[in-house]
A and B are shown apart, each in its own frame.
Chain A
Amino acid sequence: MSRNAQNDHLTRLEQTSIHIFREAFSNFRSVCMPWSMGKDSNVLIWLARKAFCGKIPFPLLHIDTTYEFPEMYEFREKAKAIHGIDLIVRINEDAIRRGIGYATHDPVTVTHELKTVPLKAAIDEFKWDALVTGIRRDEDPTRAKERWFSPRTAEGVWEYKDQPPEFWGQFASTAPEGGHVRVQPLLEWTELDIWEYIRRENIPNPTLYYARNGKRFRSLGCHPITHPVDSPASNIDEVIAELKSTRVSERAGRAQDHVGRNSMQALRAKGFM
């Protein structure tokens, strides 16, 4: 018997995500998918290709902070070719000229200047009214409050106190005036689901996630503020086995989350993913 949404947990998640992709593509004028090249992002690409029978019918966007790991730039070019991606790359050159960087500034400032600001500029430039993101509810308490379709105002603000209701497969179908809607197909997935799906589908993924010399990256961001965790898991089977027993949070190695008690909330209210 082949796998289907009724008899297989991962297939059920996959089929629901495909439906979310299709609803977004049918409801919005102009869709874009930011791509971090991380594991969730790569699963999104795979799901989008399944949703649209092979070819992603909208562009992907890489906001290049210039602080990516060198392996990630290599992976970007490789994956772009494999998937036939229409890729837009944006860098906040102005901020870099002004000397914004990890050597001199705190992670919250740098993340805002090098990620959120150029993202907002790209949205203004291309007039996208829907952005597909790879966030999951299990990552962070603020993300647990997200909807499948989550409107953002023209200023990029998330009005999380007054979100539209979502039920019976009916989602927010129009963006606020001048704003956009975040579409989040991976909302119900967990970190473990992501890895089990990558293994099952054999999805191209950076090797930084696997341990070298007793350390591996569990979540990838800018290299000055992303730290490896102690782990012997050097291949995908070991990573999955490790996740089944760990109780350390996934983003523990991401410094910008931990500057203040509510740093993630502050970043996200201003338009961060």
Chain B
Amino acid sequence: MSAPASKISANVNPSTLSENEDMRKMHVVVVGHVDHGKSTFVGRLLHDTDSLPNGKIEQVRKNCAAEGMDFEYAFLLDALLEEQEQNITIDTTRIFFRTKKRAYAIIDAPGHKEFLKNMVTGAASASAALLLIDASEGVMDQSRRHAFLLSLLGVKQLVVLVNKMDLVKHDQGTYEKIKTEYSAFLKSLGLTAVHFIPIAAKHGENIVTRSDKMKWWQGPTVADALDNFRHEDDLTGLPLRLPVSDIYRFDHRRIVAGRVEAGSIRPGDELIFQPGGRRSVVRTFEDWPGPESRDVAVTGDSVGFTLSEQIFVERGQVAAHPSNQPRVGREFRARIFWLGKEPLQLNKTYRLRLLTQNVQAVISKIEKITDASTLESIQASSVPRDSICEVIVRATRPVAFDLHHECAITGRFAVEDAGRINGGGIILEAQSENNAREGKVTAAERTARSGHPPAVIWFTGLSGSGKSTIAELVERRLFDAGRQVYRVDGDDLRTALNRDLGFSAADRAESVRRASAVAGLFANAGHISLVTLIAPLAADRAKARAALANHAFIEVFVDAPLEVCESRDVKGLYAKARRGEIAEFTGISSPYEAPESPEVHVRTDKLSTDEAVQLVLNALDKILQSKAEDWEV
């Protein structure tokens, strides 16, 4: 049962690594049509670069013999039982190896068409691609589809390997024919292959060693071509794009966390956070363990920093320098590749994920659907799986973005359906929004931003009837539900705006007029305003209702018998009034005209506060629903 102690060479040989070696791993994806020889190629590459662990090839040979199969290089990679049975690669696999120049991660992506999402996963993290074409079969569906996806995913360095040259007698004419045909296809995608290398992976021809059967080939071997790939561009020279991942408040510090996706950032930089447009200055980087912190963070660095002013910042916003900001908008034209089992549909709500932004969005128009393998247009009302489309995307909230050709990293997004990423897209151009207007901001735009129409709820009733108690709870419930809400309280108004008013009939009328004007302003700003004011006279209340006629209006009669109100006497006012210390006190020395037909009538001596609150909220829901239809944008 015990495994034998393994032997590690005691003779450490430092010459296997040169001191100036490029330590950054080069990620290369291997793609191509099913059975065009990807796994065999990778197996052979590992063998020929002397990268296999001791005993690996013997182990696989033994396994093959045990199962009565001929050994193939492809089996080296297909370590999973299921793969060996199906004889296809099922998922993205990374294989690590190194040349004298540097370390590599080969991303072995599958050729079977059902597994396109795995190829996308693999290719999106690669700096370069090797695409295999079987010389005896020529260019096939997936040869074209994979190149199309590479172009969308932004893999710019491509080498085409014309494989299985042994099956076409190493014929240069066959090679040239494939090269001509496929080059033209690549050109239509805006791609160029660095090389077309003729190989026979099975026999190791032109992998590391030059083939003596293809003397006509003067170009590089695959190993040479790999070593000539460059790492993806360093985006540090571009304008700063730092999407906020979170705000940390673990101790006294308030730290903005995020990764620099493009450009660079230093303490002292002024930042603008989009969408929203708030500005502040980077105070410090909060690097642990310290004590020193970086003086600059560049593309690829994750940072945590404090700001000199405490402005509202949240996950999803993109920090930029004010001199070069991303675009902000709700609509753009995009090219999307769709991997979902269900087709991509018009007007269905999806989640759009762009860096750390995550917003609801719909496809408001499908302009073109393309079959990825033939590049021919498809006529359809929805976008089928594994095809590519040009569409108008419309988000429910503003999004910060760049056009893909300006800054790829902020110019692309993933599309999520029911919690699953099912597609990706690049942004081609910004759309001028249908509802955006030059100049004046409209009520409809405010409603769209609040997510609900404005309203005025007017609580009237005797002192001590429970107006404020109910209104405060209504405000809390609405606020917690994400509504824009503000309470205009009669007592508060008296301390400032109405300081000059007393309790005469004329002053009471003026007080009601001013309260209705203030409530109207909040409603104009998109809020649900809650007014709590005794407003004892029916005529004054009627005027208020008329003044607020363009908003949803709910009159709530907070009703309790005078004795009950007087027994509550929270503020001790009834006692004072009875002692004659307050003149013209409503209900004692001044009349209260009960509303005849309020929208809501709550008897606070009979209902619990919660029941009363619920009645008000029900009435609000009802009226807002009817209003919302008028406000559709």
By a beta-carbon cutoff of 8 Å, the part of chain A in contact with chain B is 2, 4-6, 9-12, 15-16, 18-19, 22-23, 25-26, 49-55, 57, 106-107, 137-138, 141-142, 144-145, 147, 160-161, 163-170, 172-174, 188, 190, 215, 225, 227-232, 238, 241-242, 244-249, 252-255, 258, 261-262, 265
Contact = CB atoms under 8 A, between A and B. Distances in A.
Contact of A167 (B105, B125, B419, B420): B125
Interface residues of B, number: 85
A25 B249 CA distance: 13
A19 B302 contact: yes
B8 A246 contact: yes
B5 interface: yes
Given A258-B3, A262-B80, A265-B81, A247 B91 contact: no
A215 B7 CA distance: 10
Nearest to A170: B414
B94 A144 contact: yes
B245 A23 contact: yes
Contacts of B213: none
A106 B25 CA distance: 39
Contacts of B11: 245
Contacts of A190: 96
Contact of B124 (A16, A107, A167): A167
B420 to A, nearest CB: 6
A-B pairs with the 9 shortest C-beta distances? A5-B300, A167-B124, A141-B79, A9-B23, A165-B117, A170-B414, A252-B6, A18-B302, A174-B419
B132 interface: no
B297 interface: yes
Contact of B297 (A4, A25, A142, A168): A4
Contacts of B82: 161
12 contacts: A4-B297, A26-B356, A53-B250, A53-B255, A53-B304, A107-B1, A138-B94, A163-B121, A227-B4, A230-B5, A247-B54, A253-B3
B120 interface: yes
A15 B259 contact: yes
The residue among B82, B95, B121, B236 with the most chain A CB atoms within 10 A of its own CB is B121
A244 B14 CA distance: 7
Contacts of B419: 173-174
Contacts of B526: none
Contact of A168 (B90, B92, B124): B124
Given A142-B80, A265-B81, A248 B6 contact: yes
Contacts of A248: 6-8, 53-54
Interface stretch (B135-143, B192-200, B288-296, B516-524): B288-296
B413 to A, nearest CB: 8
A232 to B, nearest CB: 6
A141 B94 CA distance: 9
A22 B5 contact: no
Given A19-B245, A26-B315, A228-B5, A165 B421 contact: yes
Q: Which secondary structure dominates where chain A touches chain B?
A: loop
Nearest to B51: A247
A227 B339 contact: no
B10 interface: yes
Contacts of A255: 1-3
A229 B5 contact: yes
B17 A244 contact: yes
B121 A167 contact: yes
Contact of B8 (A10, A51, A167, A242): A242
B153 interface: yes
B55 to A, nearest CB: 9
Interface in B15-29: 16-17, 23-25
Contacts of A107: 1
B174 interface: no
A241 B10 CA distance: 10
Nearest to B316: A26
Contacts of B121: 147, 163, 165-167
Contacts of A18: 302
B70 to A, nearest CB: 18
The residue among A142, A172, A252 with the most chain B CB atoms within 10 A of its own CB is A252
Nearest to A9: B23
A241 B8 CA distance: 12
A16 B125 CA distance: 13
Interface in B236-259: 236, 245-246, 248, 250-251, 253, 255, 257, 259
